[in-house]
Amino acid sequence: MNDSENILEELDRILQNGLDALQQIQDEAQLVGWRTAHLGRSAPVMQVFARMGSIPKELRQQVGQKANQVKVALENALEERAAVLRREALERKLTAERLDVTLPGRLPAFGRAHPATQALDEICAIFIEMGFQIYRSPEVETEEMNFELLNIPAHHPARDMWDTFHTTTPGVILRTHTSPGQIRAMREMAPNPIRVILPGMVYRYEQTNASHEMQFNQVELLAVGQHITFADLKGTLESFARRMFGENARTRFRPSYFPFTEPSAEVDMECFICGGKGCGVCRGSGWLEIGGCGMVHPVVLQNGGYDPAVYSGFAAGLGPERIAMLKYHIEDIRYFWANDIRFLEQF
Amino acid sequence: MKIPLSWLKDYIEIDLPLLDLARTLTMAGLEVEEIQLVGLPDPYAGLPADTPREFKVTGLSWQPDKIVVAQIDEVMPHPNADRLVLCRLNDGTGEIIVLTGAPNLFEYKGKGPLPKPIKVAYAREGARIYDGHQPGQVLTTLKRARIRGVDSFSMVCSEKELGISDEHEGIILLDDDAPTGVPLVDYMGDAVLEVSILPNMIRNASMIGVARELAALLGKPLRYPQAKLPEKGPSMKGKAAIRITDPTLNPRFVLGLVEGVTPQPSPYWVQRRLRLAGMRPINSVVDATNYVMLELGEPLHAFDYDVLVRRAGGGSPTIITRAAEPGEKLTTLDGVERTLEPFTVLVCDTAGPLSLAGVMGGLESEVSPQTRTVLLEGAAWNFVNVRRTAFHQRLNSEAAYRFSRGVHPALAEQGVVLCLQRMAEWSGGQVYADLVDEYPLPPQDPEIRLSEADVRRLLGIELNAGQIAEILNRLEFTCRVEGDEVLAKTPPHRLDIGSGETGKADLIEEIARIYGYQNIPSTRLADPLPLPRSDAALEVEKQVRQALIRFGLQEVINYRLTAPQREMRLYPPENRPPEPAYLTLRNPLNPERAVMRRSLLASLLDTLEKNARLSERLALFEIGPVFWPRQDQVLPDEPIFVAIALSGLRQPPAWDNARPPYYDFFDLKGILECLGSDLHLQPLRFEPAAHPSLHPGKSAELFSGDVRLGVFGELHPLVKEQYDLLTPPVIVAELDMQAILASRQSRRETQPVPVFPPVLEDIAVIVDEDVPAVEVEKAIWQGGGKMLRAVRLFDIYRGEQIGAGKKSLAYSLTYQADDHTLTAAEAAQIRQRIIRRLEQQVNARLRG
Ligand SMILES: [Zn+2]
């Protein structure tokens, strides 16, 4: 009786000793030592199992159960302690690894498209959604293509509207607008319907300053078919303005004059900076000029190979750099071709 | 064109507020660029502060209680100053003594009470006016002051002080009927609309022209000035003759005569109107011609008749119009002797040239203060000749401005009659009862047949024939409705209406303008779409641009205009080719931008140079055309190239990597290799290049399949010296976009992902220094056969261990089979084959 009670008490002690020792454990190595000492082959609880044969038969079950409980309890305590230690170790590691997150990041080498390309692409993408196709034509043109065929005869007052770079080859100039592409596109596609955008560089004989450049991009729009109206022109450009500047963008069409369109219009857009209330960018007027447009002049249709009695069309011209200048508040158009990296990297 | 509101009101009743008036004109194509207040209140005053300033408003508003009409009853000498006078003035509230130095009052000084009071513009204390003594327009408020011992708190005003003109010599002397005591703004407050006249609207470069547009827009009647020749009076028979030698140059020439005139200052209201319209009053004869030009749009010319008679040897002058002889000379009234070209049309008499037709009068026959008889010319001229003459002679007269855009010949007669009448009114004299009128070539005022369907087809609006006719009637077209058609006859004051389809378009534009662009609906295109088409060149350009941006390069766009010497910097000074043919400008803006570029690389290096000191890392590219003139073509070729330049740090520096290495040859080669695989070009091939701009040992030509794409490498040190660059080497490439397009693989297939594990092993071989790596790799591939899947060079070693003139190349190899796991024996076999090949082909020996 005494013996068995002693063994049961001993098991309680073994458990208590094991748990007390475990509380002192601070690292993985000590934990391995503890395991050997308290759960290894020669550990006290294991010794009890080893002595099982010498325990009176009637007590064996009770002692066996108790020893087992002690072993399981020690094993569980070991697991728990190990988990705590792992967690503590991890916390120490994480603390030690803490960075100064305010240090600057390591920059990837990344490039950007030129802002003029970005503006051009943005405009073209909108018209492509509407079914327009990109059509390109030469930057060096004949006077005939650039003027005569567009209903701008030599010595016509309208010639004053374009200051032209002439070349030493008679009759060859730098195109003053993308409009010669209208004739080229029409001649290539007549009598099929046309919806093209003509993007590209144009040239003006003009002293450069903050708002004038000798070269700049244009995007011209041309639609030719049998049922194309001024109302379509308005609708198309209004849709464009809403896609480009937001759903609330309001446009205004003012009569104007271009020799290659009739009726002709100037397109104003409600200033998107001040919402039409007037600001520095719109010079207080609430409106911004964004381009010119009109119905293709019958003479131009004829020159392109379309019978103006049957076909009609519209054309419009937009300035990507000008639109970018408005959108990003760029104060000097000369920034575009100066290619200062400090300017380009802002886009 | 400056349009004084008061003048406009001579022809049409206007009750619209100023801003509405400006908007009505602007929305009809007569854009109002500025409203200059000349007394009238600011239209924005009193509106909420956030009202947009749709129109630019300048000028001065006259306070009604501070600036009034007053009368001077006596001009008295100043006790202490010779150059000042004291005026006994009545401003309607009582008598005041006012001090002034106006020279135009001196003639009345000390004459006692004036029999007829002088009407003046009087500013009371506290009036806000412009300072007459400062240049420009500086606002000032009248304060009490003591000048030469006399109290002064108010003043009589000059035009400058009231913002009418810059005239400050004397004070304004109002016409006698000005009502004393009335606020000046009520008597003559005005506003000037600065209207921009479109090139096809020269008919509106006049008061009546603008009034006519307004009448049409507002549906109001137009009051034309009443002018006619006297019923009784002398006849011009035998007084002058006209000979037109070429009616295409001079379709009409009209002469009128007035005798007994006395050139004198015009009435004040005439002078004020001329000044407000931007012209300087001269005398009552010249002013009448300018006034009627501004009023009607017909430039007129006044000859001193007695000078012409003298030139005709005392007989009756004959006016001859003709083209100038080459080298002929004429001194114009600005005193400049001008040598004439054959395109210039002259008005001559039998003694020679008198004036440049439609541009400027000659000095000799000009009217002078002594002129007593005026022969008045009204004519029509070929606009092309006037334009060329004005351009050639650099003469921008008001007459040339109008005639160079086409003035209807009908106005010649109307102008002469109206002007003769005004001349006699303002200068005295007797107007002759008839004219001499040669009109050999009247214009065809086109008659256009326009249908309801035409309007619908082009504008997308429904108007019936009656509505169409009504709109055109308002613009003075004569219309007849026939069923659903309108037959519209062009009114005889405009030359901008064509015939046929053009005429229809011209009318439709007028209908749209008067109907109002804002009233036309907005619709979506309903016409059939064209067939889809693609532009492969554009697509490949976009792909190249996107790829290079992804590889970390910045796009730039340069001026296409350059100078040959700028491009010549691409070559070492001692190795420059002869200058190639450039597309050269006839009128360059400056010598630096005189030709179209032939080299994209030269453009890009210019940009690199500009940025060399701005960034430690420059990775730039440009895609764009160059311009190559060709003997056999009118237009140059415009091939598109892509140029790349790398210089400086390979990566952006960071705080833990302050000095990354400089870009070198292999960075650009890697970019090009990636470009090739990104665009799925045919396999790339690199061959050492000999290019004068590039380092002979660090440059290569790039091929894709059989197509040569271009060249790249490190800039030759002698070329680099030509540019203002820093230490780091510059690595450049120039590729032909057309070649890139041509070398795209038309078809490509993917490989299945392998399922059996690979065998990896390394091999290091020693070869002679001059064996190119590409040869070693080729031998490995040939030896490896189809089980060899990847070859990667991972180390190059040179050193004592392997001996001089040798290098060791270490490769990592991957073997793999599609259908089983390779055995060690198989791998060893492959390795043996590779080694044998290497030994045979590049005389390699295994290292280690
Ligand atoms: Zn704004």
How many angstroms is it from A249 CA to the middle of ligand 1? Answer: 12
Between chains, do B652 and A107 touch, taking CB under 8 Å as contact?
A: yes
Hey, is the C-beta of A100 within 8 angstroms of any chain B C-beta? no
Hey, is the C-beta of A186 within 8 angstroms of any chain B C-beta? no
Find residue A56's DSSP bridge partners. none
What CATH class has B67-182? mainly beta
Between chains, do A234 and B521 touch, taking CB under 8 Å as contact?
A: yes
ipTM: 0.90
Kindly report, residue by residue over A187-243, the tens digit of the pLDDT.
999 999 999 999 999 999 999 998 899 999 999 999 999 999 999 999 999 999 999
Predicted local distance difference test score (pLDDT) of residue B306: 96
Give me the residues of chain B with pLDDT under 70, please: 147, 149, 848
Find residue B246's DSSP bridge partners. none
- As a whole-number percent, the residues of chain B with pLDDT over 70 amount to 99
Which whole number is the average pLDDT over A262-268? 96
Size of interface A-B (CB pairs under 8 A): 284
If one counts every other C-beta atom within 10 angstroms of the C-beta of residue A340, the result is 15
Q: CA nearest A141 in B: which residue?
A: B635
The span from the CA of B626 to the CA of B596, in Å, is 7
**Which residues of chain B are in CATH 3.30.56.10 domains?**
447-518
Pairing verdict, β B337-339 and B329-331:
antiparallel
CA distance from start to end of chain A: 92
The span from the CA of A133 to the CA of A124, in Å, is 9
Between chains, do A166 and B461 touch, taking CB under 8 Å as contact?
A: no
Q: Which among A116, A140, A207 is the nearest to B589, CB-wise?
A: A207
Residue B281's nearest CA partner among B269, B296, B297 is B269
Please say if the pLDDT value at position A51 is more than 90: no
Are the C-beta atoms of B410 and B493 separated by less than 8 Å? yes
Residues 226-255 of A with CB under 8 A from B: 226-232, 234-236, 238-239, 252-255
Predicted local distance difference test score (pLDDT) of residue A281: 83
Between chains, do A193 and B528 touch, taking CB under 8 Å as contact?
A: yes
Q: How many angstroms away from the CA of A93 is the closest CA of chain B?
A: 22
The span from the CA of B776 to the CA of B680, in Å, is 25
Hey, is the C-beta of A83 within 8 angstroms of any chain B C-beta? no
Tell the burial category of A68 from Cβ atoms under 10 Å away from its Cβ (0-12, 13-18, 19+).
middle
Tokens of B769: 């220094």
The span from the CA of B800 to the CA of B798, in Å, is 7
Kindly report, residue by residue over B421-454, the tens digit of the pLDDT.
999 999 999 999 999 999 999 999 999 999 999 9
Hey, is the C-beta of A131 within 8 angstroms of any chain B C-beta? yes
How many angstroms is it from A270 CA to the middle of ligand 1? Answer: 8
Segment (H or E) for B554: strand B554-555
Tokens of B655: 């705080």
Contacts of B527 in chain A (CB under 8 A): 193, 223, 225-228, 232
Between chains, do B635 and A141 touch, taking CB under 8 Å as contact?
A: yes
Confidence tier at A280 by pLDDT (50, 70, 90): confident
Q: How many angstroms away from the CA of B94 is the closest CA of chain A?
A: 45
Residue A255's nearest CA partner among B516, B683, B417 is B516
Segment (H or E) for B202: none
Q: How many angstroms away from the CA of A141 is the closest CA of chain B?
A: 7
Confidence tier at A3 by pLDDT (50, 70, 90): low
Q: How many angstroms away from the CA of A92 is the closest CA of chain B?
A: 25
- As a whole-number percent, the residues of chain A with pLDDT over 70 amount to 99
Please say if the pLDDT value at position A338 is more than 60: yes
B759-846 carries CATH number 3.30.70.380: yes
Share of chain B residues as helix, strand and coil, in percent rounded to the nearest 5: 30, 30, 45
Hey, is the C-beta of A191 within 8 angstroms of any chain B C-beta? no
3-class secondary-structure state, position B230: coil
Q: CA nearest A285 in B: which residue?
A: B54
The span from the CA of B646 to the CA of B284, in Å, is 74
Interface test with A, best of B458, B551, B615 (most A CBs within 10 A): B458
**Which residues of chain B are in CATH 3.30.930.10 domains?**
536-742
In chain A, the largest separation of any two C-alpha atoms, in whole Å, equals 134
Are the C-beta atoms of B585 and B512 separated by less than 8 Å? no
Query: Which residues touch B837 (CB under 8 Å, ≥6 apart)?
Result: B779, B780, B782, B783
The span from the CA of B409 to the CA of B380, in Å, is 5
3-class secondary-structure state, position A63: helix
How many angstroms is it from A283 CA to the middle of ligand 1? Answer: 7
Are the C-beta atoms of A225 and B460 separated by less than 8 Å? no
The mean of the pLDDT values for chain A is 92
Tokens of B710: 């271009």
Predicted local distance difference test score (pLDDT) of residue B565: 94
Contacts of B559 in chain A (CB under 8 A): 214-215, 337
Residues 253-312 of A with CB under 8 A from B: 253-257, 262-265, 274, 276-278, 282-287, 295, 297-299, 302, 308-309, 312
If one counts every other C-beta atom within 10 angstroms of the C-beta of residue B740, the result is 26
Peptide bond into B299 cis (omega under 30): no
Between chains, do A227 and B585 touch, taking CB under 8 Å as contact?
A: no
Between chains, do A297 and B531 touch, taking CB under 8 Å as contact?
A: no
Residues 201-220 of A with CB under 8 A from B: 201, 203, 205-208, 214-215
The span from the CA of B626 to the CA of B712, in Å, is 18
CA distances from A17 to A34, A74, A210 (A): 11, 10, 89
How many angstroms is it from A269 CA to the middle of ligand 1? Answer: 10
Find residue A225's DSSP bridge partners. A312
How many angstroms is it from A346 CA to the middle of ligand 1? Answer: 23
Q: Is B306 annotated as a binding residue?
A: no
Q: CA nearest B588 in A: which residue?
A: A165
DSSP state of B77: E
Name the E strands within chain A.
Answer: 133-134, 140-142, 172-174, 194-203, 215-225, 251-258, 261-270, 287-296, 312-318
Q: What letter represents residue B569's amino acid?
A: R
Q: Is B714 annotated as a binding residue?
A: no
Between chains, do A111 and B405 touch, taking CB under 8 Å as contact?
A: no
Hey, is the C-beta of A102 within 8 angstroms of any chain B C-beta? no
Between chains, do B508 and A232 touch, taking CB under 8 Å as contact?
A: no
Q: Is B506 annotated as a binding residue?
A: yes
Q: Return the CATH fold of B447-518.
A: Phenylalanyl-tRNA Synthetase; Chain B, domain 1 (3.30.56)
Contacts of A236 in chain B (CB under 8 A): 524-525
The span from the CA of B592 to the CA of B565, in Å, is 9
Q: Return the CATH fold of B536-742.
A: BirA Bifunctional Protein; domain 2 (3.30.930)
Between chains, do B505 and A232 touch, taking CB under 8 Å as contact?
A: no
Predicted local distance difference test score (pLDDT) of residue A159: 80
Between chains, do B549 and A113 touch, taking CB under 8 Å as contact?
A: yes
Q: Which among B54, B545, B657 is the nearest to A286, CB-wise?
A: B54
Predicted local distance difference test score (pLDDT) of residue A1: 43
Between chains, do A287 and B618 touch, taking CB under 8 Å as contact?
A: no
Q: Is B33 annotated as a binding residue?
A: no
Q: CA nearest B454 in A: which residue?
A: A309
**Which residues of chain B are in CATH 3.30.70.380 domains?**
759-846
The span from the CA of B644 to the CA of B619, in Å, is 8
Contacts of B517 in chain A (CB under 8 A): 234, 253-255, 263, 265
What CATH class has B241-438? alpha beta
